[in-house]
Amino acid sequence: MSEQSTKQYLTFMLGDEQYAVNVKNVREILELANITQIPCTYEFMRGVINLRGSVVPVIDMRLKFDMAATEKTIDTCIIVIETKIEDDLIVIGALADSVLEVIDLDQNQIEPPPGIGTKIDINFILGVGKHENEFIIILDMAKVFSEKDISELLKDVNKDLSEQETSPIPELSV
């Protein structure tokens, strides 16, 4: 295994499936905290959190992938992901059912995403890795959200922050 072809991935669960993101995009993992709800946003947008003075939008990955909403458990967490979309560095909190571990995958352990013969856009899947007899869906977080999704999220967050000065936003416990 060569050093260049091996990458580290953070694995996490959404429902019964294992997903992964490149460790270089993970800023930190947080315990589930109160999320401030922002009205009139996408269903998958759970709200925002205050991360050391910065406002970070929190996305329910299960809702984004057309699954049932993430339920609050002892293992539920927020994976803070930093990714470049266009020329902007975006920080997003991704709700996950649980975080598993950091694994090393060699490029030859990753197959391209399967062609499923439908019109579903799977460009956000970098590939399917195999680790210890388990399949892991490897995500490209820069492509999980369309440009339109991100611009709408940032517009909603910024609009809501300017309104927050005049009226308090209720907190949503997830």
- pLDDT tens-digit series, residues 43-63: 899 999 999 988 999 999 999
Coil/strand/helix, residue 23: helix
Q: Which CATH number belongs to the domain containing residue 124 in this structure?
A: 2.40.50.180
The 10 Å Cβ neighbour count of residue 62 is 19
What is the number of domains present in the chain?
A: 1
The 10 Å Cβ neighbour count of residue 97 is 20
15 located within any domain:
yes
When the pLDDT of each residue in the chain is averaged and rounded to a whole number, the result is 82
- Domain holding 96, by residue range, is 6-172
130 located within any domain:
yes
Low pLDDT (below 70) residues in the chain: 1-4, 115-121, 145-174
1 located within any domain:
no
Tell me the two tokens of residue 79: 């994976």
CB-neighbour burial class of residue 95 (10 A; exposed 0-12, middle 13-18, buried 19+): buried
